[in-house]
Amino acid sequence: MKKLSLSFLSALLIPFLFSCSDENDNPPAADLNAPEIGFAEGRDSFRPMEGEVRSASTDHMHVRFSVSDDSGIGQVLVDIHNSFDGHTHGRLNNTFTALNVKDIYSPDASQPFLRFPEGATFLNVDGSATDIYWEGPTSRVENNVLAGPYDIIISAVDVNGNQTSFGDDSNYLATFYIERPYAPMISVTNLHDGEIEGDAGEALEVVGSVAKAGHELSSEITFLWVRLVEEDHDHDHNHRVSGEEFYEKVWGTSAWRDGMSGPDLPNGEELKFEDIFTGDNAIILPEGEDHLDLIIWAEDANGNITRKVYEVHID
C-alpha cells in the first residue's frame, strides 16, 4: 500500500484546522432578547385597551394579545389587580371583593387553556376560554366584584431567562374600568353632540347628578373628586395627570386614596351638579383652550368607585 505524502496530509488538514479555528473564534451569539408582546393575530389593539370601560351590564372581559420569541417562550403572566389607590388597601365590606387574577401561561400550566407546546415561539391569546368573568360559575371573585379601576400587566420570559420589563416598556400595562349596577350613578344631561359646551372665562354649566343607585347592594355616596384637565392627558396609575389641571375639588373622605378629604357631602343619596358647582366651587373655563376633560370620580360606603370622563368644548 502506498504511503500518503506529508504534503498531501497537510493539504487535507489545513481546511479542517481553519474551520475549527473559525468556529472557536466566532461562537453563536447568545440570545439576550426578551419576548415581544403584541396584538393577537388579525387584531389592531390589545384587550382590555387602555381606558376601556366594562359597562354595568357586562359580567366579563376579553383578554387578547400575542407573545413571540425566536428561542422559545418560557412563561407568560397576566396580572390583574385593583388600582383604586396606588396599591394600598382600604377597608372593605365583606360583601365585595376586588378582582385579582394571576394567570401563568406555560407548557405545564395548571389549567388546559393556559398551556402551550414546549419550545413554542409564538403564543396567540384570543378566545373565549381566556375571558375573565366576575359573575357566574367561572367568576374569579368570591362574591360581588368591586367597581372601579383595575390594572392589567402582561409580562413574559423566554427559555433563556430573558424577561420583559417596565424599564424598556416591553411589558403591556393598561388601566381599565369595571362598572356595576350597585356602584354610584353619574349622569350629565346637558351634552351637545357628546360634549359639555361653555365659554372661556365663564363658569361651566354642568347639569346632572351623582347618586346612590337603586340596587339592593347600593350604599350612600361618601366621596366626590372632580377635575378639569388637559384632553388626552397622560396619567400615572394613581390617576394623577401629568398635564395641566385647571380645576380640582373634593368632597367627603375617600376610603381608598390616603389623605384625600374635603367638606362634608351635603347629601349621600343624590348630589346635583348644578347645586355643587356654584360660588367658590364653580368651574371657570380657562382662556386659550378649546377642549378639556372633566373627570368625575365617586365612591360609595362599600368602596365601589364610578369614574366618568366628559369632553368639554370651550368657545
Measured CA distances, 251 to 67, 114, 225, 240 (Å): 44, 45, 7, 17
Distance CA 51, CA 150 (A): 10
Q: Where are the domains of the chain?
A: 36-178, 185-314
CB 163, CB 154: distance < 8 Å: no
87 in Cβ contact with 81 (< 8 Å):
yes
Checking if the pLDDT of 27 tops 70, the result is no
Q: Which of 13, 15, 53, 55 is nearest to 180 (CA)?
A: 55
185-314 — its CATH code?
2.60.40.2550
Residue 1 pLDDT more than 70?
no
pTM given for the model = 0.86
**Which 3 state secondary structure label does DSSP give 114?**
helix
CATH number of 36-178: 2.60.40
Question: Residue 39 in contact with residue 64, Cβ under 8 Å?
Answer: yes
Task: Decide whether 36-178 matches 185-314 in CATH topology.
Answer: yes
Question: What's the one-letter identity of residue 138?
Answer: T
Q: Which residue is associated with the grid cell 346612590? A: 212
| Band of residue 31 on the pLDDT scale cut at 50, 70, 90 | confident
What are the tens digits of pLDDT across the range 109-145?
A: 989 999 999 999 999 999 999 999 999 999 999 999 9
Bigger pLDDT: 11 or 261? Answer: 261
Q: pLDDT of 55-109, one tens digit each?
A: 999 999 999 999 999 999 999 999 999 998 744 444 567 899 999 999 999 999 9
